Chains A and B, each alone.
Chain A
Amino acid sequence: MKSASKRLAANCALMLAMAVSCLAQEAHVGNLTGHATEGKKHYRRYCIGCHGPLGDGNGENAQWIDPKPRDFTAATFKCRSTPTGTLPTDQDLYNSVGRGFTNSNMPHWDALTDQNRIDLVAFIKTFSPRWQAEKAGDPIKVPAEPPVTMESITHGAELFQKMECWKCHGQQGRGDGPSAATLTDSKDNPIRPYNFAAGGDDSRFKCGVTNQDVYRIFMTGLDGTPMPSFADVIQPNDAWDLVHFLRTLQTNRHSRENEVLKAAGGKIPTKAPDANPPAQPENKGSGSGN
Chain B
Amino acid sequence: MRTKLVFVALLAFMVSPALSFGAGTVSGKITYTGTPAKQKPIDMSKEPSCAKQHTTPVTTETVVTGANNTLANVVVYISAGAPDESSAPAQAVTFTQKGCQYIPHVLAMRTGQELKVVNADQTSHNIHPLAKVNREWNKSQPPGTPPLSEKFDKEEFVPVKCNVHPWMHGYFAVLKTSHYAISSDNGTFSLPKLPPGKYTITAWQEDYGTQTQDVTISGSETKNVDFTFKAKPY
Q: Measuring CB to CB, which residues of chain A are less than 8 angstroms from any residue of chain B?
A: 3, 74, 76, 84-86, 162-164, 167-168, 178-179, 182-184, 186, 221, 223-233, 277-285
Contacts and interface: CB of A to CB of B under 8 A. Distances in A.
B164 A223 contact: no
B144 A221 contact: no
A205 B165 CA distance: 25
B132 interface: yes
Interface string B94-134: 00000000000000000000000000001110111010100
Given A167-B124, A228-B126, A285-B142, 8 more contacts: A163-B142, A178-B46, A179-B166, A183-B163, A183-B166, A186-B130, A226-B163, A281-B146
A279 B137 contact: no
A21 to B, nearest CB: 21
Contacts of B8: 3
Contacts of B224: none
B140 interface: yes
Given A167-B164, A179-B163, A182-B166, A226 B128 contact: yes
B207 interface: no
Contacts of A280: 143-144
A208 to B, nearest CB: 19
B164 A281 contact: no
Contacts of B127: 228
Given A179-B165, A179-B166, A283 B138 contact: no
Nearest to B126: A228
A233 B117 CA distance: 14
Interface of B: 8, 46, 122-124, 126-128, 130, 132, 135-146, 148, 163-166
A86 B135 contact: yes
B136 A85 contact: yes
Given A167-B164, A179-B164, A224 B136 contact: yes
Contacts of B144: 278-281, 283, 285
A84 B136 CA distance: 8
A279 B123 CA distance: 9
A164 B136 contact: no
A164 B142 contact: yes
B31 to A, nearest CB: 31
A85 B153 CA distance: 13
Given A168-B163, A178-B46, A279-B122, A74 B142 contact: no
A-B complex: 8 closest residue pairs judged by Cβ atoms: A85-B137, A226-B163, A280-B144, A228-B126, A164-B124, A182-B166, A85-B135, A228-B140
A162 B142 contact: yes
24 contacts: A84-B138, A85-B136, A163-B140, A179-B46, A183-B166, A221-B139, A221-B140, A223-B137, A226-B138, A228-B139, A228-B140, A229-B139, A229-B140, A230-B140, A233-B145, A279-B143, A279-B144, A281-B146, A283-B144, A284-B145, A285-B142, A285-B143, A285-B144, A285-B145
Nearest to A178: B46
Contact of A84 (B124, B137, B146, B163): B137
Contact of A232 (B123, B130, B139): B139
A84 B146 CA distance: 18
B19 to A, nearest CB: 18
Nearest to A183: B163
Nearest to A177: B164
B138 A229 contact: yes
Contacts of B148: 232
A226 B141 CA distance: 13
A277 B122 contact: yes
A221 B128 CA distance: 11
Contacts of A184: 163
